[in-house]
């Protein structure tokens, strides 16, 4: 997608095949900084510190991290070490494990001297597939937005509410929850997005607002607590969010606060859709209760980072000094609150049967 009229992806190989470049998301929205990853450890650190984040992008970064590991040492021991180090970076997004397993499977039976080339080819393919998959999600979600537009009686824009950042910055391109929005925008549908700020790290206010703004999509940042009120007043036509891991029964883990939006949507009869690529489905987990929830540092809750009027970036303390803070980073929305799952293969019910109708090859487990 575009920033200042220039097309970007979030990650790409660079230096004539010796490194990987990323958009450093810890610097957005105030600075557009491209960071360079030269080792698997760089890739692991970029994921842990959330220079890259969002389930699909975490997976793509891990894939390139395995390639960087191969450039240094393509022996079995080094690759196993890189795999384990990358897997330990963030626990909830299943795309991480998926991408690492894809990489290991494609390299395992190759002679060490062939592995670096094969690893780059597979990592590039994972990135390209992610972009194509997300675009397909956009096409299917577009139909839901068209239906919402047709349901609107008084005219005006279709109002979509989203939580966190599940746009192109969270993937390689297009995004998951925002891909339908971009498709609707391209199709000339009058659309407006309510952007939850998404405390504590503010991925909505910082990243979703940044990418929608640069693409020219009308949007408004709201405090996380405003969504229920807007739904009660009929100002939300549908909710679309992403997910970091979808259990085999259709329960979805996503950024903390998603569950509260689903409850409010259910109470107000607002459709609540979850957009995801196949790599986000964890077929080994029967329900959301088994999804590991990342616990992050309390300082993300007690402190905030932002730009002063003069342009300097500062971190300030916002809570009572000394008060402890808890920071669960994700929550689980039960399938019963989800109107449908938007995948690259189409839209299905949030249930085992629904998922199997789109992915029948998984019926045997």
Beta carbon of residue 221, minimum distance to ligand MRU (angstroms, whole number): 16
Residue 214 to residue 46: CA distance in whole angstroms: 24
Strands 158-162 and 238-241: parallel
Give the residue among 65, 241, 110, 97 at the shortest CA–CA distance from 166: 241
Does residue 91 interact with ligand MRU by CB under 6 A? Answer: no
User: Least distance from C-beta 335 to ligand MRU, angstroms?
Assistant: 17
Task: By CB under 6 A, tell whether 254 contacts ligand MRU.
Answer: yes
Identify the active-site residue in 24, 42, 244, 251.
244
For residue 81, CA distances in Å to 44, 177, 364 come to 12, 34, 31
Nearer CB in complex with ligand MRU: 53/83: 53
329 binds ligand MRU (CB under 6 A): yes
Q: For residue 348, give the DSSP letter.
A: E
Q: Select from 123, 125, 106 the least CA-distant residue to 114.
A: 106
Nearer to ligand MRU among residue 85 and residue 261 (C-beta): 261
Alpha helices, DSSP H, located in 36-178: 40-48, 55-72, 76-87, 94-107, 112-151
Judged by CB, which is closer to ligand MRU: 65, or 107? Answer: 65
Closest to ligand MRU by CB, 54 vs 141, is 54
Nearest distance, CB of residue 161 and ligand MRU, angstroms: 13
Residues of span 119-178 touching ligand MRU by CB under 6 A: 164, 166, 170-171, 175-176
Measured from the CB of residue 47, what is the shortest distance to ligand MRU in angstroms? 9
CA distance 343 to 333: 17
Q: Does 247 bind ligand MRU (CB under 6 A)?
A: no
* Least distance (Å) between residue 333 CB and ligand MRU: 11
220 beta partners: 194
For 146, residues 6+ apart whose C-beta sits below 8 A from its C-beta are 184, 187, 189
H or E stretch including 336? none
Number of residues that bind ligand MRU (CB under 6 A): 18
Per-residue binder mask for ligand MRU (CB under 6 A), 36-55, x = binder: -----------------xxx
Residue with tokens 């803070």: 325
Q: What are phi and psi of 63, to 5 degrees?
A: -60, -45
| Comparison of 79 and 206: residue with beta carbon closer to ligand MRU | 206
Nearer to ligand MRU, 74 or 243 (CB): 243
Check residue 344 for interaction with ligand MRU (CB under 6 A). Answer: no
- Number of helices (H), then strands (E), in the chain: 12, 18
Q: Which is nearer to ligand MRU, 156 or 306 (CB)?
A: 306
* Contact between residue 44 and residue 65 where contact means Cβ atoms under 8 Å apart: yes
**Which residues inside 217-246 make contact with ligand MRU, applying CB under 6 A?**
242-244
Q: Which residues on adjacent β-strands are paired with residue 162?
A: 195
Active site residue 84: no
Whole-number Å distance between alpha carbons of 196 and 319: 21
Q: Does 56 bind ligand MRU (CB under 6 A)?
A: yes
Instruction: Mark residues 283-322: x for contact with ligand MRU by CB under 6 A, - for none.
Output: ----------------------------------------
Q: Which sequence positions are flagged as catalytic?
A: 244
**Chain positions contacting ligand MRU, by CB under 6 A:** 53-56, 93, 164, 166, 170-171, 175-176, 203, 242-244, 254-255, 329
């Amino acid at each position: 997608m575009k920033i200042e009229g220039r097309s970007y992806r979030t990650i790409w190989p660079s230096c004539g095949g010796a490194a990987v470049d990323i958009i450093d998301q810890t610097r957005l929205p105030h600075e557009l900084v491209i960071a360079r990853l030269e080792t698997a450890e760089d890739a692991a650190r970029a994921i842990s510190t959330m220079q890259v984040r969002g389930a699909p992008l975490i997976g793509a970064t891990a894939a390139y991290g395995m390639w960087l590991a191969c450039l240094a040492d393509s022996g079995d021991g080094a690759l196993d070490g890189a795999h384990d180090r990358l897997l330990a970076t963030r626990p909830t997004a299943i795309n991480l494990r998926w991408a690492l397993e894809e990489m290991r499977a494609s390299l395992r039976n190759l002679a060490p001297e062939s592995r670096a080339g094969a690893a780059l080819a597979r990592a590039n393919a994972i990135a390209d597939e992610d972009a194509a998959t997300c675009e397909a999600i956009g096409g299917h979600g577009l139909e839901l937005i068209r239906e919402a537009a047709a349901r609107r009686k008084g005219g005006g824009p279709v109002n979509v509410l989203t939580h966190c950042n599940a746009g192109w910055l969270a993937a390689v391109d297009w995004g998951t929850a925002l891909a339908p929005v971009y498709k609707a925008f391209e199709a000339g549908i009058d659309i407006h997005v309510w952007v939850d700020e998404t405390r504590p790290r503010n991925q909505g206010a910082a990243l979703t607002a940044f990418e929608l703004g640069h693409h020219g999509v009308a949007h408004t940042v709201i405090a996380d607590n405003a969504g229920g009120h807007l739904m009660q007043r009929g100002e939300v036509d549908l909710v679309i969010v992403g997910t970091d891991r979808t259990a085999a029964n259709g329960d979805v883990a996503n950024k903390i606060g998603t569950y509260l939006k689903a409850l409010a949507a259910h109470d107000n009869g607002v459709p609540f859709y979850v957009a995801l690529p196949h790599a986000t489905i964890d077929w080994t987990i029967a329900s959301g209760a088994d999804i590991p929830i990342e616990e992050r540092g309390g300082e993300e809750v007690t402190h905030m980072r932002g730009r002063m009027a003069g342009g300097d970036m500062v971190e300030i303390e916002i809570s009572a000094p000394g008060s402890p803070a808890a920071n669960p980073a994700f929550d689980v929305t039960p399938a019963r609150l989800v109107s449908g799952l938007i995948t690259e293969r189409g839209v299905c019910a949030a249930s085992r049967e629904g998922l199997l109708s789109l992915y029948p090859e998984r019926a045997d487990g």
